[in-house]
Structure 1
Amino acid sequence: MTDKYASYVAIRAVVVFDQAKKHVMYKHVVHYALAIARRQHGCIALNEVITDADEPLYRNRLLDVVARDALFLSNDPWGNFVVQHVLSMYDLRCKHNVAVSLRGHCVDLSFKKYGSYIVERLLEAEVSMGVVVVELLKCDGDRLMRLARSEFGNFVVLKALKVTQEMNRVYLFRDLVQKLMPFRHLLLRSHGSNIANILETRCLN
């Protein structure tokens, strides 16, 4: 599963084996999922298996492993791709579980390239969006300003503003705007210029 070429054989085996052999394969994959996820070719193979798994029981077990160790994997150079993948599958139970695992760490992750992708995925669903926005609102104002001005974090803050509007979470949108408003002038000439534009629109309204 972690070899550049042998992984193709393993992925194919999961598809063509009979049920008895598939179950043996799935058990091994579940057992070694974290080790597989943290390897360059392993993370690709694991994503393939999760996508193609035709056994709901084992698929859910794999999703549970990823969700349970989401923080560990999110900070791994290869494991983060597995977290991103499961969040793109629109499995609401899994999204909720990942959000619970990452609660209290969303701001830290948002400063990082791949971490910000994960947090943006969480913002896309109602079951996980609240966890991220509440954490943004709880963090220190200066830290939120730095996040909004940062290369990757600005996309998270911008998305938080947009989804709270689109999902009609008026109170969350209002609170986020109020917390960011004192820093509007600092956002203008930075990565946070698009955030400043939204704040400017609010002022005009």
Structure 2
Amino acid sequence: MAVADNPFSMSTMFNALPNPKGISGSIPPPGFAPRASATPLHAALFNLMTDGDGVSYFKEMISNSDKTELQRMASLLTSDSDYFMSIVTTKFGSRRVQKLLGKSDDVDAFFCAAILRRFLHITTDKYASYVTIRAMVVFDKVMKKALYERILYHALDLACDQHGCIALNDIITDADDPYYRDQLLELVASNALRLSNDASGNFVVQHVLTLYDSRCIHNIAVNLYGQCIELSFKKYGSYIVEKLLEVEESMVVVVVELLGCDGDRLMRLARNEFGNFVVVKALRFTKMSRMDLFWGLVQKLMPFIRLLRRSHGSNIANILDSFRLRC
């Protein structure tokens, strides 16, 4: 079929593109939209997908396109991995590809294959990662399964990336397949120590703890036992330990570790700019449900009350004072 006879009318699209800036459909700069953009049609489509002023034209064109036309558009967009990457790694390109997802299974099949080919690069990119997130919401079960398998394979790489960790958190939250959701939670839990000490990975551990999956929380607590005090000295590590204190079962694991350390180390933790919040939370939560653990902490901290007053631990000293007065 000749281009002129194409029902998607690519030549029509090329000629009809808005041209307020004198866009001629010339090929984008070398290295930006390579190889597949070597035709004027690819260049025109590149402009359509990435031009910040072309929002209304894009919406109108998509609303007037039937499934066959959208399928041909998807085929052209995904005809070359580098070309596809050059589009989805831009702000507007990512948004417009997301708009095309879920239109039909035939259209999604092209995008699914393109995402799988460059999965890690796409899902760790600031803008392109949202294409994967959207795909996991709208794709059918077969395509989702293929993506889930790739996510599991690269989960730790995603977790330890500044953009990938955001994508992984969203994917875990919206996971609608119980098997893969459990697999992802188990993977995070079994690697809790490594992730907790990673600048991006700690956000994944924090996130899964907020899902309040009892099995996952238990597994994280078990895998972090013996490391909770060390984590509590760190900004983000202390957030993780604080979240463990919010659930009774994992709270016991943390407090037992606090009670098992020597008094000097507990005192240093209580005076630390981050650790003091962990100790305060341990006191407050044990007081509500485990008075035996609460009094154990009070007795261990009381000898250091004067030192606590002259540090970040002054809030702990106030708690100790209130109970000393009652006694």
Higher relative contact order (CA 8 A, sep 6+): 1
In 2, Cα distance between equivalents of 1:126 and 1:93 = 13
Alignment of 1:93-104 (within 5 A): 93-104=215-226
Verify: 1:65 aligned to 2:187, yes or no: yes
Aligned to 1:161: 283
Q: Which has the higher helix share?
A: 1
One-letter code of the match for 2:288?
Answer: E
Query: Where does the alignment leave 5 or more consecutive residues of structure 1 unmatched?
Result: none
Amino acid at match of 1:151: E
* 2:307 alignment counterpart: 186
Distance 1:64 1:122 in 2: 16
What's the % identity of the aligned pairs? 68
Task: Using structure 2 for the length normalisation, give the TM-score.
Answer: 0.62
Residue in 1 aligned with 2:231? Answer: 109
Say which of 320, 323, 326 aligns to 1:199.
Answer: 320
Separation in 1 of the partners of 2:323 and 2:271? 19
| Cα offsets for 1:24-47 (capped at 9, x unmatched) | 111110111001100010000000
Residue in 2 aligned with 1:134?
256
1:48 pairs with 2:170: yes
Q: Tell me the distance in 2 between the aligned counterparts of 1:101 and 1:86.
A: 14
- What does residue 135 of structure 2 align with? 13
- The aligned residue for residue 84 of structure 1 is 206
Normalising to structure 1: TM-score of the pair? 0.99
CA distance in 1, matches of 2:222, 2:309: 33
Q: How far apart are the structure 2 equivalents of 1:90 and 1:117?
A: 15
Determine the C-alpha separation between the residues in 1 that align with 2:324 and 2:132. Answer: 57
Q: How far apart, CA to CA, are the structure 2 residues paired with 1:193 and 1:4?
A: 41
Q: Which residue in 2 is equivalent to 1:177?
A: 298
CA distance in 1: counterparts of 2:324 and 2:135, whole angstroms: 59
In the alignment, the residues of structure 1 paired with residue 312 and residue 161 of structure 2 have an alpha-carbon distance, to the nearest angstrom, of 32
Write the distance in 2 (CA, Å) between the matches of 1:172 and 1:5: 47
Aligned pair count reads: 204
> What is the RMSD computed on CA atoms of the aligned residues?
0.5
Amino acid at match of 1:77: A
**How far has the Cα of 1:65 moved from its partner?**
0.3
Distance 1:56 1:94 in 2: 13
**Equivalent residue letter for 1:92:** S
* Shift of residue 6, structure 1, vs aligned partner: 1.1
Q: Choose 1 or 2 for highest CA Rg.
A: 2
